[in-house]
């Protein structure tokens, strides 16, 4: 059940248990609470493609693999929310996310952003358009492969977080 | 503050917290990379054109990929993956005593297709990749041993 639906139900229930004056205060408080919940609705994020590094060969020395946001393997997302609002985009875990292949590991050391958002280092900033859309948010990353990495597929789930900026 | 007032405050706090959480959205997504085993090539036989008798006319000595004189290699790599093998140099000049013999027109066979492609087995093996070539010998060549080095390259497709 969404919070916006919960508020009026809570009001109704409490008002039954209260005297008239308290009931009015509840009502006003619930209106206050209801307003931001309606206004600041959550965004809808659609994943268009996952983050997929190009295959690499196992090497004798550690290697750094960089996937640019403009590369075809970058993760791509579309966001739908409140028109013309600015949003802050980031990826969690922030750093040192570990991709695993059995007991073997490879660490993501950095993320980069592009497409419709501006990279600000650890996060990115974008603005929803007049229809509330912000398409083609692109996320790249830098990966540190250990020496003599075991062959196979290294993977994990990351989380894209989108917040209204203002 | 009576009990109802305290309850009000509690609900208000809870709802405000819940409302604040609605500001943000999360979307899980996958990150992945595939690491391939390095390709290891082992030469099991060099390319050898054998003994040729000098002639007043030019000669072309052909070693087919199936012949005993063909170069042969065992290759190890990522199971199931396809590779392309080539001789890097388009030709090789073998020089001795003022005579140059040119080796060219490389051909592929054994575990390789005629265009040099193949796939590793489930065990990551690709044995008996073979390379043939032609040696163009000028008229009246100087007697002697002619030798040189070619590069056999194998890459994942």
The pTM of the full predicted model, rounded to 2 decimals, is 0.69
Indicate the angle between helix axes B3-21 and A3-17, nearest 10 degrees: 170
How close does chain B come to A114, measured CA to CA in Å? 17
> What residues of A are in contact with residue B18 (Cβ under 8 Å)?
3, 6, 37
Residue B6 is predicted with a pLDDT of 57
User: Does A57 contact B15 at a Cβ distance shorter than 8 Å?
Assistant: no
A150 class by beta-carbon count within 10 Å (0-12 exposed, 13-18 middle, 19+ buried): middle
Residue A62: CB atoms within 10 A of its CB come to 12
Domains and CATH numbers, chain A: 3-39 (no CATH), 44-164 (2.60.40)
Q: Give the integer Cα–Cα distance in Å for B34 and B80.
A: 14
Residue A3 has pLDDT above 80, yes or no: no
What average pLDDT does the structure give for chain B? 89
Q: Given CB atoms, is B30 within the 8 Å cutoff of chain A? A: yes
Q: Give the integer Cα–Cα distance in Å for A159 and A66.
A: 19
Query: Nearest-CA residue of chain B relative to A38?
Result: B19
Residue B91 is predicted with a pLDDT of 97
The complex scores an ipTM of 0.75
> What residues of A are in contact with residue B32 (Cβ under 8 Å)?
50-53, 99, 153-156
User: Tens of pLDDT along A112-159?
Assistant: 999 999 999 999 999 999 999 999 999 999 999 999 999 999 999 999
pLDDT band at B17 (very low <50, low <70, confident <90, very high): very low
Residue among A46, A35, A67, A53 nearest A162 (CA)? A46
| A108 within 8 A of A95, measured Cβ to Cβ | yes
- Residue that has been written with the tokens 């619930």 in this structure: A30
How close does chain A come to B28, measured CA to CA in Å? 4
User: Does B36 contact A55 at a Cβ distance shorter than 8 Å?
Assistant: yes
């Amino acid at each position: 059940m969404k919070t916006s639906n919960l508020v009026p139900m809570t009001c109704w229930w409490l008002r039954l248990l209260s005297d008239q004056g308290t009931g009015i205060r509840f009502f006003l408080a619930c209106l206050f609470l209801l307003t931001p919940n309606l206004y600041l609705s959550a965004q809808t994020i659609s994943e268009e493609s996952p983050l997929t590094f190009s295959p690499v060969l196992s090497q004798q020395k550690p290697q750094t693999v960089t996937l640019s946001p403009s590369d075809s393997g970058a993760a791509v997302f579309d966001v739908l929310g409140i028109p013309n609002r600015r949003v802050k985009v980031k990826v969690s875990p922030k750093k040192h996310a570990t991709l695993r292949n059995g007991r073997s590991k490879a660490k993501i050391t950095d993320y980069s952003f592009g497409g419709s958002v501006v990279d600000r280092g650890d996060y990115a900033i974008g603005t929803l358009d007049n229809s509330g859309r912000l398409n083609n948010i692109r996320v790249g990353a830098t990966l540190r492969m250990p020496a003599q990495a075991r062959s196979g597929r290294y993977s994990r789930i990351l989380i894209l977080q989108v917040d209204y900026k203002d | 503050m009576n009990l109802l007032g305290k309850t009000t405050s509690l609900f208000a706090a809870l709802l405000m917290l819940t409302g604040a959480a609605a500001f943000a959205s999360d979307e899980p997504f996958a990150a992945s990379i595939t690491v391939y085993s390095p390709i290891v090539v082992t030469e099991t036989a060099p390319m050898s054109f054998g003994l040729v008798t000098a002639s007043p006319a030019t000669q072309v000595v052909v070693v087919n990929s199936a012949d005993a004189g063909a170069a042969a290699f065992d290759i190890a790599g990522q199971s199931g993956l396809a590779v392309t093998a080539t001789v890097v140099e388009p030709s090789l000049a073998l020089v001795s005593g003022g005579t140059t013999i040119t080796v060219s027109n490389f051909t592929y066979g054994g575990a390789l297709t005629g265009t040099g492609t193949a796939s590793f087995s489930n065990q990551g093996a690709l044995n008996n990749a073979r390379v043939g070539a032609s040696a163009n010998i000028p008229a009246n060549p100087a007697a002697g041993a002619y030798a040189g080095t070619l590069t056999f390259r194998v890459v994942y497709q």
